[in-house]
Amino acid sequence: MNTFHCRGLNDLDRIAGAILGLFPDERIFGFYGQMGAGKTTLIKSLCKHLGVTDMVNSPTFAIVNEYRTQKGEPVYHMDFYRLKNSRELLDIGAEEYFYGGNYCLMEWPEKFEELLPDNFVYIQIFVDETNHNRIIHAQRSSRSPDFR
């Protein structure tokens, strides 16, 4: 498991670059953390490193945002928070996103782990309640690891 300490927004670019460097062949990333932990903010930094030219924002209501890189490649940003059941996830074409070979960055993946690919990168963001810093764990896994 790889652990990063984030003391503020200035640390995010470094952390995002390190995460992508650790997992250069992975395309599916799941982001775990409480509401407000910084999942979307970290995804913005990852997208910057991937060369995304579009504005990156939370797909909470859209469910899926598609961004384009400088090379014209798609990057998918998904937020499963508002989905009620696995049928809704399948109806948006999740399998095409998961197995299409493009970057797929998922918020709230724990809601549908049974439908996710067998292997992807788990990123857990913890909030240190004493100073509000973030502790970020990143690990390649075939199923949900215990980050506690």
SS (H, E, C) 49-107: HHCECCCCCCCCCCCEEEEEECCCCEEEEEECCCCCCHHHHHHCCHHHHHHCCCEEEEE
Chain segment 54-74, per-residue pLDDT in tens: 999 999 889 999 999 999 999
Q: Domain extents for the chain?
A: 2-141
- pLDDT tens for each residue of 7-63: 988 999 999 999 999 999 999 999 999 999 999 999 999 999 999 999 999 998 899
Q: What is the pTM of this model?
A: 0.91
- CATH number of this structure's domain 2-141, picked from the four choices 3.40.50.300, 2.40.400.10, 1.20.1250.20, 2.40.10.10: 3.40.50.300
